[in-house]
Structure 1
Amino acid sequence: MKLAVAETGLDMSGMTVLTEAATGAYAVTPVLAAMAGAKRVHAFTRPGRHGTVLDAKRETMELAALLGVADRIEILDSISPEMLHNVDIVTNSGHLRPLTAELIDQLRDDAVIALMFEAWEFRGEDLDIEACARRGIPVVGVNERHPAVDVFSFLGPLAVKQLHDCGLAVLGNKIGLLCDNDFLAPLHTGLTSLGAKVKTFDSVAAVHPDAWDAFVVALQPATTPRVGQAEATHLAACARAGAVVVQFWGDIDRTALARNGFAVWPTSPVKQGHMGILLSDIGPEPIVRLQTGGLRAAEWVRRGGAVTPDGFAQLVPWPAAT
């Protein structure tokens, strides 16, 4: 965490931040803000599948105490309008989502929302982008490929972990990589570097018959599943018995795939629009880098910094006025 703050140059001095208090690797977010000099960090939490309110408070404050910043972090289970009036940066974090028009309307005119991932990955259900446009509040993505953040380099190891967890060696496996977005290069590199025989396709329709061991799905989510009944039937016609469909990103129809004889990994359903594996599943470092980068991008915009292709910050486009 100290290294990430130093490498990104994160400086939140004088700022008030509203973020979440969470468990595991995600406990780092409010602590990073405080480490970077934020004068006050409000960390909202609620019960979830990863822990209770007490769990989140304990893990966050133990980490904060270890780093000597506990006095500037406040754990909350409710958010008042008065607090929102004083916030500089709000993070698009799990416990806070969705960021509603009601919340956004209480923010200061110069407040900034930190998306906490790249702008092109924006999900409309996370926050009310129309309310942000009406208020003139920037929604700031983070350049995950910036050298001081470099989260994209962890995507290959994440896919490898999924394949290992479902019982494939990767080495020598024939893998169809279904990807139509910027995840393609790091996923391809990660799989081929461990000896997989990888063929890439930008759609299910482009897949051809072969002795596939697995299909890794990394297709940008849409309004309907990227692998539905028709796609599952096509894949089944192209693959040998026993092939696995690995959901990295992009919604899939699990029933249709099972009906066509596929095993699906992970075995539990994935929330719509979300990845099938957490960055923290290979350790805390990707999360530390991502959260620090997300805060740095928002801090940069909040201080009036210019958004450039090689910088930390990206902007989510506001919808056109009607």
Structure 2
Amino acid sequence: MSRALTETLLDLSGLTVLTEAATGAYAVTAVLAAMAGARHVYAFTRPTRHGTPADARQQTLELADSVGVADRIDVLEQITPNILHQTDIVTNSGHLRPLTAALIDELPREAVIALMFEAWEFRPEDLDMEACLRRGIPIVGVNERHPSVDVFSFLGPLCVKQLHDCGLSVYKNRIAVLCDNDFVGSLRAGLASSGASVDTFDDVQAVYRDAWDAIIVALRPGAEPRIGSPEATHLAACAPAGVIIVQFWGDMDRTVLSANGLGVWPAAAPAMGHMGILLSEIGPEPIVRLQAGGLRAAEWVRRSRTVSPDGFAQIVTRPPDPAFADSH
């Protein structure tokens, strides 16, 4: 965490942050903000499948105490208007989502929302974009490929971990990567460096018949599952019986995949629009870097600094796809 703060030059002095108190690697967010000199950090928590509010409180405050910042973190189970009125940065964190119009309307006009991932990955269900546009509150993505953040480089090892979990060696495996977004280079490099034979495709219909050991799905989520009945039929025709369809990112109709004789991994479906494996599965390092980068991007915009293509910050300026316009 100290290394991430040094590399990103994160400085939250004079600013108040509203984020989450969470468990595991995600306990770092509130603590990073306090370590970066935030005037105060409000960390909201609620019950989830990852732990109870008591678990989140304990893990967050124990970590904070170990670096001497516990006195500047309040763990909350209720967010009052008074807290919102003094908040400079709100993070788009799991316990806080969705960020509603009612919450956004209570924020100061100079507040910013930290998306905590790249702008193009924006999910309309996470927060009320119309409320942000109406209030003039920026939604700030983080450049995950900035040298001081460099989270994209962890995507390849993360995909390798996912394949190991489903019983594949990766080494000497024949793997198709179905990817229509900026993840493709990192995924291909990570798999190839582990000894896989890899071909990439940006469309399901482009996948050809081969002795695939696995087909990685890393498709940007849409209004409907990216792998439905027609896609499942095509993939089944292109691969040996029982080949594993690995859900890295992008929603899939698991019923039709199974009906076509295809295996599906992970065994439990992730939430709609979410990744099939968390970055924390390969340790805290990528989470620490991502959270520090997300806070740094928000700080950059909050302090009215210029946003540039090679900098930390990215601004979500408009709906990313027609599905958003159709649903609002």
Specify the SS of the correspondent of 2:124.
coil
Does residue 51 (structure 1) correspond to residue 47 (structure 2)? The answer is: no
Question: 2-side partners of 1:298 and 1:287: how far apart?
Answer: 17
Assess if the C-alpha contact under 8 Å between 1:130 and 1:319 holds in 2: no
Q: Tell me the equivalent position of 1:315.
A: 315
Question: 1-side partners of 2:178 and 2:317: how far apart?
Answer: 27
Question: 1-side partners of 2:55 and 2:301: how far apart?
Answer: 33
Change in Cα spacing, 1:249 to 1:229, as seen in structure 2 (3 Å) is same
The alpha-carbon deviation at position 269 of structure 1 amounts to 1.0
Question: Structure 1 runs of 4+ off > 3 angstroms?
Answer: 318-322
Q: Tell me the equivalent position of 1:74.
A: 74
Q: Tell me the equivalent position of 1:26.
A: 26
The CA deviation string for residues 18-61 of structure 1, in whole angstroms up to 9 with x for no partner, is 00000000000000000000010000000000000000000000
Specify the SS of the correspondent of 2:132.
helix
Q: Tell me the equivalent position of 1:306.
A: 306
The CA deviation string for residues 150-194 of structure 1, in whole angstroms up to 9 with x for no partner, is 000000001000111101110111111000000000000000111
Change in Cα spacing, 1:5 to 1:133, as seen in structure 2 (3 Å) is same
The CA deviation string for residues 76-115 of structure 1, in whole angstroms up to 9 with x for no partner, is 0000111101000000000000000000000000000000
After TM superposition, the structure 1 = structure 2 runs for residues 174-213 of structure 1, keeping only pairs within 5 Å, are: 174-213=174-213
Assess if the C-alpha contact under 8 Å between 1:133 and 1:319 holds in 2: no
Specify the SS of the correspondent of 1:163.
helix
Q: Tell me the equivalent position of 1:289.
A: 289
The alpha-carbon deviation at position 319 of structure 1 amounts to 5.4
After TM superposition, the structure 1 = structure 2 runs for residues 2-21 of structure 1, keeping only pairs within 5 Å, are: 2-21=2-21
Structure 1: give runs of 5+ residues left out of the alignment: none
**Identity across matched positions, percent:** 70
Q: Tell me the equivalent position of 1:148.
A: 148
Structure 2: give runs of 5+ residues left out of the alignment: none
Q: Tell me the equivalent position of 1:163.
A: 163
- CA-atom RMSD in angstroms: 1.3
- TM-score, normalised to structure 2, is 0.97
Specify the SS of the correspondent of 2:125.
coil
Change in Cα spacing, 1:7 to 1:92, as seen in structure 2 (3 Å) is same
Question: 2-side partners of 1:177 and 1:79: how far apart?
Answer: 43
Q: Tell me the equivalent position of 1:221.
A: 221
After TM superposition, the structure 1 = structure 2 runs for residues 229-248 of structure 1, keeping only pairs within 5 Å, are: 229-248=229-248
Assess if the C-alpha contact under 8 Å between 1:130 and 1:318 holds in 2: no
Does residue 89 (structure 1) correspond to residue 93 (structure 2)? The answer is: no
Does residue 120 (structure 1) correspond to residue 120 (structure 2)? The answer is: yes
Question: 2-side partners of 1:186 and 1:283: how far apart?
Answer: 18
Question: 2-side partners of 1:254 and 1:156: how far apart?
Answer: 24
Count of matched residue positions in the alignment of Structure 1 and Structure 2: 322
The alpha-carbon deviation at position 195 of structure 1 amounts to 1.0
Assess if the C-alpha contact under 8 Å between 1:158 and 1:282 holds in 2: yes
Specify the SS of the correspondent of 2:56.
helix
- Bigger Cα displacement from structure 2, 312-321 vs 4-13: 312-321
Q: Tell me the equivalent position of 2:172.
A: 172
Assess if the C-alpha contact under 8 Å between 1:213 and 1:242 holds in 2: no
The aligned amino acid for 1:129 is M
The aligned amino acid for 1:55 is D
Question: 2-side partners of 1:274 and 1:203: how far apart?
Answer: 20
